[in-house]
Chains A and B, each alone.
Chain A
Amino acid sequence: MIQLEAPFTEEKIRALKQGDEVEITGVIFTGRDAAHKYLHEGGALPAGMSLQNKIVYHCGPVVVKDGQGNWKVVAAGPTTSIREEPYQGDIIKQFGLRAVIGKGGMGERTLAACKEFGCVYLHAVGGAAQVLSTHIQKVKNVYFMEEFGSPEAMWELEIVKFPALVTMDSHGNSLHREILATSTNVFNQLVN
């Protein structure tokens, strides 16, 4: 098990290989459909917020306020990443992301951007919202709450030992491409 701790430098990211199991510790930002479309259309980040060398988590969490009025994440697993395929590569390039956490994998454009700019795709177990939320220690901030609504807002979270699998590395390898090829092969044998 590889410990991936902030700051997430290009060197640390380049050292990761497809198939590595990692535990991530540091600050991450959630971002999904509305955020990716907005940023890709030239939308600006709020003052003081930067994604440089940061991780974006494809996730729309369930967040409630506790008795003291503080935000508390009560369920937070990954959402399907492929919907961000039209935007992700450009966002990696423009904002300097070092990793994307999600589920289901992404396509060739994102894989190429990971290779060119030094980024990885980390797969978390979809549906495992309770196990994953136990690794979220604190809500540091929330952005675009009014504009996008709670699930689509960008939540700044402190995570500790968050478990994930490197399924797309910065050297052009993708587990998703491999499984698609082998399963398509079996499928063709079954139907022909």
Chain B
Amino acid sequence: MLLRNLDASLLELVRRTSAELPEDIKRVINQSLQREKKGSVAWNTFSIIEKNIQLAKERSLPICQDTGSCLFYVDCPVGLDQIAFAEVARAAVKEATLKGYLRQNSVDSLTGKNSGTNLGPGAPVFHFHQHASPELRVRLMLKGGGCENVGQQYSLPMESLKANRDLAGCRKVILDSVLKAQGKGCGPGVLGVCIGGDRATSYEHSKEQLLRKLDDTNSNPDLAQLEERVLKEANQMGIGPMGYGGEVTLLGVKIGALNRLPASYFVSISYMCWAFRRQGVNLDGNGEVQNWLY
């Protein structure tokens, strides 16, 4: 068996991800509360959200009952036994479900039967990346169904919006996705966007943008500018928290790009709700937690 304490560390990773919102998200939610008019429905909603974040941590229970898909992103050293790792992670997910950190959230698409364990074909999801470092880095995202359902993939050009194959066209379709998501994904949300790629890699990369901290700066100045502009404009739309109306419609926008085929130009958008559950750890050679990432 690899890494003696891996099972306990992964269980704690699941618990923390489900019950404790990362600091970068909490900070922006608090700033958003200040931007709403005191006593307004939007302000009251942010107050309930803040109370909920605090309560979940105190009670060590899920921030949101929809604990979503378990998405593991594992950066591992050469030689890590990925088969064994996945086995330990699956056991941790099952245990976390028994303890009520996770809802029974994996349903057979053909029979409608709930496995009751969060295990099954495609659940949980593992993304293994080998890196040239002895460190084992495990990041986990719990992405709920409400926000996953409002993801969008556009194929440019799109005539109805006069969106061409350029950043101006990307801006239009990204704003369109915000308009369409209103009320459905629990706002204010964060957009992860990928420009380019194929249908699958584009969505994949859009989700990976959500692993970035909210206060980071995009290394590509054009994308940094687009992120800033879309965030500002989305907040002018007045959709507000939960679609009740208000100043804050989005908490952040993160955009990445992949090369594309000459024939294709996809813009894929993954929406993450305010209950932005992601956490990560660096583990040592025994599987002990060295430090938390968010």
Query: How far apart are the CA atoms of A60 and B144 in the complex, in Å?
Result: 12
Q: How many residues of B contact A (CB 8 A)?
A: 56
B103 touches A151 (CB 8 A): yes
A186 touches B41 (CB 8 A): no
Query: How far apart are the CA atoms of A178 and B240 in the complex, in Å?
Result: 13
B100 touches A74 (CB 8 A): yes
Expressed in whole angstroms, the minimum distance between the Cβ of B54 and any Cβ of chain A is: 9
For residue B244, CB closer than 8 A to chain A, the reply is yes
Expressed in whole angstroms, the minimum distance between the Cβ of A41 and any Cβ of chain B is: 13
Give the secondary structure class of A's interface. mixed
B59 touches A130 (CB 8 A): yes
B49 touches A125 (CB 8 A): yes
Query: How far apart are the CA atoms of A171 and B177 in the complex, in Å?
Result: 31
Using known A-B contacts A60-B66, A175-B244, determine if residue A182 contacts B238 with beta carbons closer than 8 Å.
Answer: yes
Q: List the B side residues contacting A31 at CB < 8 Å.
A: none
A149 touches B55 (CB 8 A): no
Expressed in whole angstroms, the minimum distance between the Cβ of B108 and any Cβ of chain A is: 10
Query: How far apart are the CA atoms of A125 and B207 in the complex, in Å?
Result: 24
Query: How far apart are the CA atoms of A180 and B233 in the complex, in Å?
Result: 16
21 contacts between A and B (CB under 8 A): A59-B65, A61-B65, A64-B100, A75-B64, A123-B244, A125-B48, A125-B52, A125-B242, A128-B48, A128-B52, A128-B64, A130-B62, A131-B55, A150-B103, A151-B105, A175-B245, A179-B183, A187-B179, A190-B236, A190-B237, A191-B176
Residues in chain B within 8 A of chain A (CB atoms): 41, 44-45, 48-49, 51-52, 55-56, 59, 61-67, 99-100, 102-105, 107, 112-114, 116, 144-146, 149, 161-162, 172, 175-176, 179, 182-186, 233, 236-240, 242-245, 273-275
Residues in chain A within 8 A of chain B (CB atoms): 21, 34, 59-62, 64, 74-77, 79-80, 82, 103-105, 123, 125-131, 133-134, 148-152, 163, 165, 167, 175-176, 178-180, 182-184, 186-187, 190-192
Ranked nearest first, the 8 interchain pairs of A and B with the lowest CB-CB distance are A149-B114, A126-B186, A104-B183, A127-B275, A75-B65, A130-B55, A128-B52, A75-B62
